Structure 1
Amino acid sequence: MFRDWPAVCTERSWIALARSLPPRARRGVLLSLVCLGAGLGIGATQASASPFISSFKPNPQPSSSTVPPNGDQNPYGIVTVPRSVGSLRRGDLLISNFNDSANSQGTGTTIVQIPPGEKFAEGNAPVFAQIDPTKLPGPCPGGVGLTTALAVTRTGFVIVGSLPTSDGTFKTAKAGCLLVLNSRGKVVETISGGPINGPWDMTAVDNGIFVTLFVTNVLNDTVATSPKVVPEGTVVRLTLLAIPGLRPAVLDEDVIGTGFAERTDPNAVVVGPTGVALSDDGTLYVADSVNSRIAAIPGAFFRDRAAQNGGQTVFAGAPLNDPLGMTLAPNGDILTANGGDGNIVETSPDGRQVTTVGADQMGGAGVLFGLTVSPHVDGIYFVDDGDNTLRLLEP
């Protein structure tokens, strides 16, 4: 059973003290603890002179179907499990599905768990969690429609975004929430309201007890102003207390980036800021999908004011083409998955275009979303929405 988190604070007076501080002081204390615990280095990011994906063979064949027994489709988020705990196994891949079996967008309720090297036929992908929208422990406006926002902590919490619809279209899209699951796939908390409005993608910094999330949001005035492009997309930073056996709690939340372009889309519900990745020097990179741009928010951990106008531009234009999923390569370069043409692009932190590799042999628009660099293989795992599969791009 999960106990309410305030009981923990009474046992740990330093946490109670942090919460009693004024917002700016509290933020500094909490984020310092997170950085110290996570071993985050603050220094210049140096990208390797050697490209990461230049030797990778293009257009890999499917490794496995991502369709579970209930028929959910449209795999969006993907993350590598860092440590074995509960039902989670180190190195396994968690994948969130955005659509249901009827291919209705914003109605997917499953996270599948696929061990590397194992291949499953369509309809047989192992289920880590199937979330019942009627049995949530807290509010999640609109229900459940799992997005690219997906993270897993070393202590076994899985956090996934929900941007739900009732009919598969942007007209019924609701604010949704972040769903927090335990290591057995049970939802133990929801995070909603405030700046959480259509959580679309996410990255996490995890030290086991404190977890900092950076979440892109795409529903701020998007539906009301459809089909116009509006500069209302945001990046939100949340600090969580996440102790196994206890109910996770939000200790601090701040909007650290504003002004990102977003719009409704009949084929994707919404288009807006998507993938995020945090460098060793504390710079948060953001995939600006509408403008085919990589943005940067410096000092993402400690800033107390939002970067405006969509942050600083690292690079914009070709070969970026509707960049969606994002992660960092081992050499520090930025990897983005193009939704517009099925390519994966490697960009250096100073904006140099390093190399581009085709990931989908059809080259179709909208087939790539999430991607992850697993420490257990020399390659990139990514999901292919075109045929609902997991694939591995490797040498």
Structure 2
Amino acid sequence: MKFALRYLLFVLPTFALVGCGGSSSSPVSNPPTRNTIASLQHITTVSSTVDPTNGDQNPYAIAFAPTSFTGDGNPAHVQPGDLIVSNFSNASGVNGAGTTVEAIRNGKPVTVYNEMNAPTASGGTVSTAGPVAIAFAPNGNMWIANYGLSGTGNDGNVQIVTPKGIVNQTFTDPRVVAGWGQAFNGGYGGKLAFFTVNVNAGTVVRINISIVNGKPSFSFDQITPDLGHSGNNASNIVGPQGMVHTADDTLYVADGATNSIIAIPNSTTTGMTTGRVVYQGSPLNQPAGMTLNPLNGDLIVANQKDNNLVELTPSGQVVAVKPVDLTPVNPITGAGSALFGVVATTDSNGNLVVYFTNDNQNTVEKLSQ
């Protein structure tokens, strides 16, 4: 496919509606379209995502920095509310060789982090590549899932990076290599945890955070068996990827290998589980990124195999399908696949707005009314 407490200072709730129930392969329903992607008619280009310093391209992760931390005003640092995008490939188009993270400001990409020789909090530097997914802690720290420079995932990791671009932690535990997704639990039940994906194994892993003598301590729990994956390198790997955590502690996982959405209840404390199939089959078509509709709690999923966005209720009802890139996708090679990351928010009038990365154009696009 073209495809501390400096670590965590305090907890904000996850704003979402509770999801429950489940079904599969139900037809598109016809509810009122207000506040869904069906009501959005305009696609505009927000910005190029090509890194201005080294030409990195192929945007994957997209996320908004929280507004809950204090920015320092330095344009080279992540600031509250920034729209953040990562580049998976280098200027030559080598998948997994990208190293840069951009803040999209005033229609342009601004480099806020480079994974090559990044400074560490303990002194020295660390290098990695292939940032796939990003989730934020309330203090502005980025949790980045990296697939790795080799393109096999074996040298991937999860990093915690401050808004100033300092690496606080690099996790290389075998359970969290081959990073392909990232989500925060919102501090559910007073417990802090991030979720990541080892796509080479098709598994979801929880990184638990506790405070010991005023310092963060981390532990790892694999919470799913292989949910389904295929491929073996950065150009063809497919598996569990997009993740959304909701206020009832359900973790939703999109799996492109099985064309399914899986719900994992009690995700902050659960042991090994296969979860519950919320939906499987068409119109899902190799789902990748996933986000939450902030107005109704629906799941909005980005398809790689047809460049459609699909909106579903947490109970498995298809609400809408919206084509956002008309490039034909080769069903064998994946050439023409545009979509990877997606994030939803509201505009100043309270209307739904969806931002997504377009790998065909190396841009961030906006779907709005």
TM-score per shorter chain, which class? 0.7 to 0.9
- How far apart, in 2, do the equivalents of 1:175 and 1:248 lie? 27
What are the Cα deviations for residues 91-125 of structure 1, in whole angstroms up to 9, with x where unaligned?
2111111111111111111000013xx212xxxx2
Match of 2:82 among 86, 92, 95: 92
Partner of 1:240: 209
1:302 to 255, 258, 269: 269
Instruction: Indicate which of 322, 341, 344 corresponds to 1:370.
Output: 341
The SS at the match of 1:294 is: strand
Structure 1 residue 150: Cα displacement? 0.2
Alignment of 1:186-225 (within 5 A): 186-206=166-186, 211-220=192-201
Aligned twin of 2:142: 158
Pairwise mapping of residues 322-361 of structure 1 onto structure 2 (< 5 A)? 322-330=286-294, 331-361=296-326
CA gap of 1:174–1:61, structure 2 versus 1, over 3 A, is: same
The residue aligned with 1:264 is: 231
- Secondary structure in 1 aligned to 2:176? coil
Q: CA deviation at 1:239?
A: 2.4
* Count, aligned residues: 335
1:314 and 2:278 correspond: yes
Aligned partners of 2:290 and 2:300 also within 8 Å: yes
Question: What secondary structure does 1:374 align onto?
Answer: strand
Q: 1:4 to 1:38 in 2, by over 3 A?
A: closer
Q: State which drifts further: 359-368 or 196-205.
A: 359-368
Amino acid at match of 2:297: G
Residue in structure 1 matching 2:353, options 360, 379, 382: 379
Which residue type is aligned with residue 63 of structure 1? V
Q: Which runs of 5+ in 1 are unaligned?
A: 9-33, 221-232
Change (3 A) 1:326 1:3: closer
Higher helix share: 1
1:45 CA displacement: 3.2
Deviation for aligned residue 1:217: 1.2
SS across alignment from 2:290 = strand
Q: Distance between the aligned counterparts of 2:215 and 2:62, measured in 1?
A: 22
Q: Distance in 2 between matches of 1:43 and 1:152?
A: 20
Greater RCO (Cα-Cα under 8 Å, separation 6 or more): 2
The alignment's TM-score, normalised by the length of structure 1, stands at: 0.76
234, 255, 263: which one aligns with 1:288? 255
Q: Distance in 2 between matches of 1:250 and 1:388?
A: 38
Q: 1:363 to 1:62 in 2, by over 3 A?
A: farther
Give the counterpart letter for 2:265 in structure 1.
P
CA RMSD, 1 decimal: 3.3
- Amino acid aligned to 1:198: A
Asked if 1:132 corresponds to 2:116, the answer is yes
Which residue identity lines up with residue 318 of structure 2 in the other structure? Q
Say whether the 8 Å CA contact 1:340–1:366 is kept in structure 2.
yes
Match of 2:333 in 1: none
- Matched-pair contact (CA < 8 Å) for 1:66–1:75: yes
Range moving further from structure 2, 270-279 or 145-154: 145-154
Give the CA deviation at 1:191: 1.4
Counterpart residue number, 1:18: none
Structure 1 counterpart of 2:354, one-letter code = I
**How far apart are residue 148 of structure 1 and its match?**
2.7
Q: Give the conservation status (yes or no) of the 8 Å contact 1:158–1:182.
A: yes
TM-score between the two structures when normalised by the length of structure 2: 0.81
Instruction: Measure the CA separation in 2 of the matches of 1:344 and 1:105.
Output: 24
Q: Give the gaps of 5 or more residues in structure 2.
A: 22-30, 330-335
Return the alpha-carbon distance in structure 2 between the equivalents of residues 130 and 276 of structure 1.
24
Offset of residue 158 of structure 1: 1.2
2:349 pairs with 1:393:
no
- Go from structure 1 to structure 2 and tell me whether the alpha carbon gap of 1:250 and 1:72 turns closer, same or farther (over 3 Å shift): farther
Matched AA of 1:324: A
Q: 1:82 and 2:63 equivalent?
A: no
For residues 173-192 of structure 1, the aligned pairs below 5 Å read 173-192=153-172
Gap change, CA 1:376 and 1:240, over 3 Å in 2: farther
Give the letter for the 2:88 counterpart: F
1:259 aligned partner, one-letter code? D
Shift of 1:153: 2.1
